[in-house]
Amino acid sequence: MTQLIDGKALASSLMAKLKNSVAQQQRQITLAVVQVGDDPASTVYIRNKHKACEKVGIRSLHIHLEGDITSGSLLDTVHTLNSREDVDGILVQLPLPSGIDEGEVIRAIDPAKDVDGFHPINIGRMMLGEDCLLPCTPAGIIALLKSNGVDINGKECVVVGRSNIVGKPVAQLLLQAHGTVTQCHSRTRNLAEVCRRADILVAAVGVPRLINADFVKPGAVVIDVGIHRMADNTLCGDVDFDSVKDIVGAITPVPGGVGPMTIAMLMQNCVRAGHCGN
Ligand code: GUN
């Protein structure tokens, strides 16, 4: 029987623990979410982050700026949040409007408040295996594997995708957990063949249902990071779930797999940033 890796259940148990730890704190923990413009997907993501904050007992601020704001004003906003003692975590929702340099904005965030784990200082610390704020989706994937009894040590891990947010950092975390890691991308030759080597396959490509029965080895553990709304309004991942479900050993559903874990890890990062004091 194929095991369904339930991200929703693990996320809600983590959130319950975080709620307890927040309740024991003397100080209010605060997350500031900066939105630039009105990208509809960003609006939905931000709403979900605010709801999660409410569940855990974290105060959330929504700083909503006009889409035509200058880089300078956005950077001023970030600097102000850096210096506010009542703000523990800062998240600038991506993507930013064209014309704004995302890297410059991320670098402006105080690394101690960088709850996305996107600042080069945090990425560098992660590469060195140091304690730091980790990117939420990759950290959520590792937590899902560990809590579902998947041993990474010595396993063939194949990551499809090389984004800064998911592909690169998840490959690094799998390596630190002693996996043998192969990173694939759009130029990889014989992608299906490489994927079939995987004991643990992470699909973070952004192509609906790319990974089908040709790409999986019997018994493999499949983590699907993609989430796509199709023309018929249904959601699907980067993995063709129905095609692989009777072959693989375990798989995350979409929705209800990686998505809820990303938010739970964001809440965990907010609590950590709060504990560290700023
Ligand atoms: N846009 C899509 N995913 C993310 C994320 O994890 N963090 C931020 N800041 N923006 C995003």
Considering the domain delimited by 27-110, tell me its CATH architecture.
3-Layer(aba) Sandwich (3.40)
Q: Report the C-alpha gap between 67 and 81 in whole angstroms.
A: 19
247 CA to middle of ligand 1, Å? 32
Confidence of residue 278 (pLDDT cuts 50, 70, 90): very low
Every domain of the chain with CATH number 3.40.50.10860 lies at: 27-110
Binding residue per annotation — 163? Answer: yes
Contacts of 51 by beta carbon, 8 Å cutoff, 6+ apart: none
> With 50 as the cut, is the pLDDT of residue 125 above it?
yes
Tell me the ipTM for this assembly: 0.93
> With 90 as the cut, is the pLDDT of residue 89 above it?
yes
Pocket test for ligand 1, best of 46, 63, 74, 93 (most atoms within 8 A of CB): 93
Global pTM value: 0.97
What's residue 276's pLDDT? Answer: 76
136-259 topology per CATH: Rossmann fold (3.40.50)
Every domain of the chain with CATH number 3.40.50.720 lies at: 136-259
- Cα separation of the two ends of the chain: 48
68 CA to middle of ligand 1, Å? 20
Ligand 1, atom 9, lies closest to the CA of: 93
Pocket test for ligand 1, best of 45, 114, 118 (most atoms within 8 A of CB): 45
Q: State pLDDT tens for residues 173-213.
A: 999 999 999 999 999 999 999 999 999 999 999 999 999 99
Residues framing ligand 1 (Cβ under 6 A): 91-94, 116, 136, 165
Binding residue per annotation — 5? Answer: no
- The two three-digit tokens of residue 45, written as one number: 């993501």
3-state helix, strand, coil in the chain (%, to 5): 40, 15, 40
